Amino acid sequence: MSRVAIAQLPGVRGDPARRRAWLAALAARAAAEGADLLFLPEAALSGYHLAPGCPEVARATRRAAASLARDHRLDIVAGLIDGDGSRLELFGADGCHRSYLKRYPTLRESAHHRAGRTPAVWTLQGRRAGLLLCADIMQGGAWRPLVGRVDVVLVAAAWPDYRGRPARLAPPLRPLLAPLATRSPAYLHAFLPRAAAALGVPLLFANLAGTWVGAEGFTGGSTVFGPDGSIVAALADGAGADEPALLVAPLP
């Protein structure tokens, strides 16, 4: 793995055919720009939702992703919510398929999604990659199994933009939760480089963008971090809110 493509795209649940068309366009562009890995956020192939997905739609999406990976000779790693939870899946250029089930769903997600038990370390284009999904990054139990075992870490997220939430909180909860909400995006952008530096490997962060339901939305900010935590390349927070955006960069 020498050159990577990170996609940032709308998170709202929508037309599966449109999402497959987005994936096809992203794969073609990534391959044309010399990337050997296309990395997409949590739930990128399905849109973010809590209710169980349709198995037939998930199968059609997986078939499309596998075909694109083979045709363009690149590995595709992308999030998909299916019947039992949030997954990060590998569709290999060589035809292989692997699936990682999110180990630490949020409190809201855990009412609908099953938690995984097994860490994921996959070989991508000759490099050992550790895979994490969104809230996994907050848990030492997700990071510790990767220490000393990986050459790169991929964090796929549907990280919300909390900045507008304090005004929508019930008045009794505002003093308690408003500071957490307003600090959350800054915390995320500070935490990820520290994580990369602590692990001593590059970290790829792929996040959803745009609105979800009503005023709820995702914070974007997909980034390639170097092993010292420095920013190698990044997408703006608002990029991909309406149509997919793609970041192509060398892997440090």
Residue 13 reports pLDDT greater than 50? yes
- Confidence check: pLDDT of 185 > 80: no
Instruction: Look at 65-69, 83-87, 241-245 and tell me which has the smallest mean pLDDT.
Output: 83-87
- What is the mean pLDDT of the segment spanning 42-71? 88
Question: In sequence order, what DSSP letters do the residues of 58-70 get, joined into one string?
Answer: HHHHHHHHHHHHH
Whole domain around residue 81: which residue ranges? 3-250
**DSSP characters over 83-96:** SSSEEEEEE-TTS-
Mean model confidence pLDDT for the chain: 87
The mean pLDDT value for 22-47 works out to: 96
Q: Report whether pLDDT(34) > 80.
A: yes
Flag the least confident range among 189-193, 215-219, 222-226. 215-219
Q: Is the pLDDT of residue 184 over 70?
A: no
DSSP designation for 3: E
DSSP state of 121: E
Phi and psi at residue 242, in whole multiples of 5°? -115, -40
% of the chain beyond a pLDDT of 90: 59
Q: At what angle do helices 55-72 and 16-32 cross, to 10 degrees?
A: 10
Q: What's the pLDDT score for residue 166?
A: 46
Residue 182, pLDDT score: 47
Tell me the pairing of strands 152-157 and 203-207: parallel
Q: Check residue 72 and give its pLDDT.
A: 98
CATH number, domain of 213, equals 3.60.110.10
Tens of pLDDT, residue by residue over 151-179, are 999 999 998 876 555 455 455 544 554 45
pLDDT tens-digit readout, 221-245: 999 999 999 999 999 888 999 999 9
* Res 207: pLDDT: 95
Question: What's the average model confidence in pLDDT over 7-17?
Answer: 86
Instruction: Return the pLDDT at 181.
Output: 47
Of 60, 115, 61, 52, the residue nearest 81 (C-alpha): 52
Average pLDDT of span 52-65: 86
Residue 213 confidence (pLDDT)? 58
Residue with the bigger pLDDT between 215 and 88: it is 88
pTM of the model as a whole: 0.90
Count of structural domains, the chain: 1
In this prediction, residues 69-79 reach a mean pLDDT of: 98
Asked if 68 and 24 touch (Cβ cutoff 8 Å), the reply is: yes
